[in-house]
Chain A
Amino acid sequence: MDRDPHSATDDDSLATFFRMSLDLCCIARLDGSLERVNAAFAILGWSEEELLSTPFLDLVHPDDRERTRTELAKLARGVPSTHFENRYRCKDGAYLWFAWTTAPSSSGVLFAMGRNVTDSKLRRDAERRELERQRHQYQAIFDTLPQMIWLKAADDTLIRVNAAAARSIGLTPSEAEGRRTAELYPAHAGRYRIDDLEVIERGMPKLDIVEPYEVAPGDVRWVRTDKTPYFDAEGNIVGVVVSATEVTGWKRSEEERARLYEQLKAQDELKTRFFANVSHELRTPLTLIIGPVEKLLRAGDLDATTLRELEVVARNARTLLKRVNDLLDVARLDAGKLGLRPAQVDLVALVRAATAQYESIAADRRIDLVVEAPAEQPLAQVDPDKTRQIVDNLLANAFKFTPAGGTVRCTLRAEPPNDAQPQGLVTIEVADSGPGVEPAMRELIFERFRHAGDFGGTGLGLAIARELVMLHGGRIFASAASEGGALFSVELPLLAPAGVRVVEASTHAPRSRATEAPEVAPPSSEPREIASPDAEPDDRPLVLVVEDNEDMSQFIAGELSPDYRIARAFDGEQGLEAARTLAPDLVLTDVMMPRVDGLTLLAALRADASLSAVPVVLLTARADEESMVDAFAGGADDYLAKPFSARELRARVRAHLELVATRAEATRREEEAARLRTAVRARDEFLSVASHELRTPLSALQLNLQLLERLPQDAVRMRSERLDVALRACKNLGALIETLLDVGRAATGHLELNAVEMDLAELLHDVARRFEPAIAGAGCSLELRVEPTLLGRWDRLRLDQVFANLLGNAIKFGAGKPIELTAIAADGKVHVSVRDHGVGIAPPDQARIFQRFEQVASAPSYGGLGLGLWVSNEIVRRHGGSLTVESRLGEGSTFRVSLPRARRGDR
């Protein structure tokens, strides 16, 4: 290695440093070669000789070369370079990053020091990529959020806006960013700004702001907005983060809900007043019914039938009165008009009086009625009428659900005032052995208009009992009885609330308000047998009555039985079963019934193909429009609102049965009309085809006659030719008219056969002979392979027509090609085939050519052909034979006729 030419001391020490340096030190020339390198260069793996003999730019990473050249150019201009980074290739092919500090010298060489920065460089790159990745993730989240998000600076400038927010006003985020809220939302910016400032000043979020949001002038949506302070890295509040969700739909429905609620409340008040008025109105006539009827019953001079009917009247009038009273109570409770008037009441006496009324019913239905009450009992400060009503309602409920032979138990207990119960407590329990109440239903049964689901009734009794109990400050609840049925427990304070005036002694014995005798509902819990039609099948229409109320069912059956056969079912399930077995002409069904109700039955009937057309008349106690809409939508034909008169019932049933008959008649007429329309269309098409067919030869005829007229008299040959053509056209016309007549005859069934003993071989030879000129004229040849004799019983003229037609077609479509006519006898039949080598018939046309003319008419390709073949087919068919075709396009067709030698059953 050369010694450099500098002074010795400096040189030695500098050379030492040069050698020792951990960084790369080198002296390079501007021409791109290295003049001297230190030991640190060993990191590249090249030997010193290799380094000094290689232009260093060759070692620079290709991607960095251009920058390096630029940097060299700067150095060449005398500008020093600091911290210039580039990559050098090691001998093993790897690259290392170096940061260079280079100084140009006056002598034209460069002094450069390079530090290996590969590690930090790679780490920085990785960090940058990671940052970029995270930024991208946050951006993606930010822009895919359905919420609209704005990041605002304290001065209202939008720092960041997500895609949803920008999109809502038709901008991109970059278009919105940098602008101010006031610019983008001029209409409501003031309101937004006030909230923003509040959040910024107080440093507290402001959430759930429901506010207008104008996306375009006049297009105002509603948003729910959350505003949170925006803290910078140092924890200073520098703006606000706003996120908003559109709630326009919610806002609108909220407003609608409020409006509906007001409306509903008004309607509810109206309903309460209405109930009260109606109940009052009804009580008067009902009292006037019950009074005289009971007087009549008591008189005791009635015959058995009248007595029974009057009992039904009395029982149902009382039930009605009970319902009316219930309604009146509900109305009063709603109006808050039912006040508590406590008195000193002997509850034992009250309970015994209430149960006493059920004794005869219990006896009738073999129900064990048990009253458990202590002999002596402190007087209770309760409202006597209302307490009696509570007990009555619970007993009525128990008897309604208890089957014959069951048990109803009424228990009374009292606890005097003590520490736990300063007012004392009296408990009245009514238990039964009925079906009980499902745990899930134990709360619901006290709601108005609800009943256990399986039984009829308005369901008001329990609801009223609860209201009355609550009026006393007590509670009522249902549980399971040890008897297996329901246990209703009523707890009332023994003492009236302080400050309430208590009547010393009751001035009147508490009485059951609703009824003199309790309501007796037939035990509808016991499934009854379907009552079969009460008359042997006759031609009277069969009406199926589905009604759970025995009285009502009897009444309907009684009214209708003179004119109709009646079958009865007692719930929807039985009704459907009966309808399926009996196929009634009409179904009358109640809507509210145990187990399966009337609307469900209606749906099942409509879904049953064989019953879907049976008229269904609904009997309903609810005559409101809504339930009628349900009924009609479900496919009901009519409804009768209870109460209805016998006359109305009979009239509706008759009307619907007549309607069914009329419908059947209309269907029959419609079918007849459709048949006639088809016939007329067929006739029209026949005429159209016929005239078309006739015009074709007529055209040739007319033109030739006109030509004849114009040809000079002496053009004998030409005139003769024209005459021939005209004559042929005339013959064609004649033949065509014959065919058309045959079509007409065949179509109307008037194609008569005149079968005689004949030789088909002879006939075929005749036809072939007749066609000789035509065959020659068309350039065809005919090969005849017919057995010597083919005897059978056929219509000679008609068969002549068939084979003339087939041969004619063969010549027409197989011009210039040979034709084969074959006839053999086999299996008691004669098989004739006519084969040409002409154009052939496409498969879709093969299927069509034997079809009736009205169908052929729509297949323009087979004008003349269709009619002839159709007639041929008819003739062959009437001989008991068959006509088939086999054909390939471009290869010709083979028509095959099979004829039995004698028609079976031939007349």
Chain B
Amino acid sequence: MSASSDHRVLVVDDNVDTRLTVELILSSEGYHVSTASNGVEALAQLRTAAVLPSVILLDLMMPLMDGYQFRAEQRSDPILSDIPVLIFTADGNAEDKAASLGAAGFLRKPIDLDVLVAEIAAYCSVHAGPLP
């Protein structure tokens, strides 16, 4: 657990239960977790963050700014574009959508707790540490 303590995870999901539950799970795994309920909040957080997250868990269907629009913004921002994104969706075509969005991977809802933890861990070990 302490091995992952350097890593930050941003969870972007409009469903408050999902968001808070995922936050609870990942925090207990030792990650610094921040949350946002839509793309606008997520971008605002990222652009003011002192330390950028190692991975972003991104829901697609959200009000105000959805996952697609968020991805477009993120990819055009040179500071943010390298952060790997895991598409976190209930959509049946999660795999295609992730591919079309150039995401690092996808997690299909509903998700198994162990799978969630393992996936996040994979991204946080591949990347040596948080970006400056």
Contacts and interface: CB of A to CB of B under 8 A. Distances in A.
Task: Say whether A associates with B.
Answer: yes
Interface of A: 688, 691-704, 706-707, 710, 722, 725, 728-729, 732, 813, 839, 860-863, 865
Contact of B116 (A703, A728, A729, A861): A703
23 contacts: A688-B92, A692-B91, A693-B90, A695-B109, A696-B109, A697-B17, A698-B110, A699-B15, A699-B109, A699-B110, A699-B111, A700-B21, A703-B22, A703-B25, A704-B21, A706-B114, A722-B21, A728-B17, A839-B64, A860-B68, A861-B61, A862-B63, A863-B61
B17 A725 contact: yes
A529 B71 CA distance: 77
A728 B17 CA distance: 8
Most B-side CB within 10 Å, residue of A695, A703, A706, A732: A703
B60 A699 contact: no
B126 interface: no
A702 to B, nearest CB: 4
B21 A725 contact: yes
Interface in B11-30: 15, 17-18, 20-22, 24-25
Contacts of B110: 695, 698-699, 701-703
B20 A692 contact: no
A698 B21 CA distance: 12
Contacts of A839: 38, 63-64
A695 B89 CA distance: 9
A691 B92 CA distance: 8
Contacts of B91: 692
Given A700-B21, A860-B61, A861-B62, A706 B90 contact: no
A89 B67 CA distance: 83
A699 B113 CA distance: 10
A696 B111 CA distance: 10
A695 B90 contact: yes
Contacts of B24: 707
Interface in B92-124: 92, 109-114, 116
B63 A698 contact: no
A861 B63 contact: yes
A671 B116 CA distance: 48
Nearest to B64: A839
Contact of A698 (B20, B66, B92, B109): B109
A700 B92 contact: no
A695 B24 CA distance: 20
A374 B46 CA distance: 121
Contacts of A725: 17, 20-21
B40 to A, nearest CB: 8
A864 B18 CA distance: 15
A703 B63 CA distance: 23
A729 B110 CA distance: 12
Contacts of A704: 17, 21
Nearest to A711: B28
Given A688-B92, A691-B90, A692-B92, A699 B63 contact: no
B18 A703 contact: yes
Given A839-B64, A861-B66, A696 B92 contact: no
Contacts of B60: 860
Given A696-B15, A861-B64, 6 more contacts: A700-B15, A702-B112, A703-B22, A725-B20, A861-B66, A863-B61
A704 B15 CA distance: 14
A703 B110 CA distance: 8
A377 B31 CA distance: 133
Contact of B113 (A696, A707, A728): A707
B111 to A, nearest CB: 6
Contacts of A862: 63
Contacts of B61: 692, 860-861, 863
A728 B20 CA distance: 13
A739 to B, nearest CB: 16
Nearest to A840: B64
Contacts of B67: 860
For the complex of A and B, the 5 pairs showing the least CB-CB separation, nearest first, are A695-B90, A700-B17, A699-B109, A706-B113, A863-B61
Contacts of B21: 700, 703-704, 707, 722, 725
Contacts of B63: 813, 839, 861-862, 865
A699 B18 contact: yes
B66 A699 contact: no
Most B-side CB within 10 Å, residue of A693, A700, A701, A729: A700
Contacts of B114: 706
Contacts of A692: 61, 90-92
Most A-side CB within 10 Å, residue of B63, B90, B110: B63
Nearest to B18: A700
A839 B65 CA distance: 10
A707 B22 CA distance: 10
Contacts of B38: 839
A241 B38 CA distance: 83
Given A699-B90, A861-B62, A863-B61, A729 B113 contact: no
Contacts of B15: 696-697, 699-700
A701 B109 CA distance: 11
Contacts of A694: 90
A839 B91 CA distance: 24
Contacts of A693: 90
A839 B63 CA distance: 9
Most A-side CB within 10 Å, residue of B15, B21, B22: B21
B99 to A, nearest CB: 16
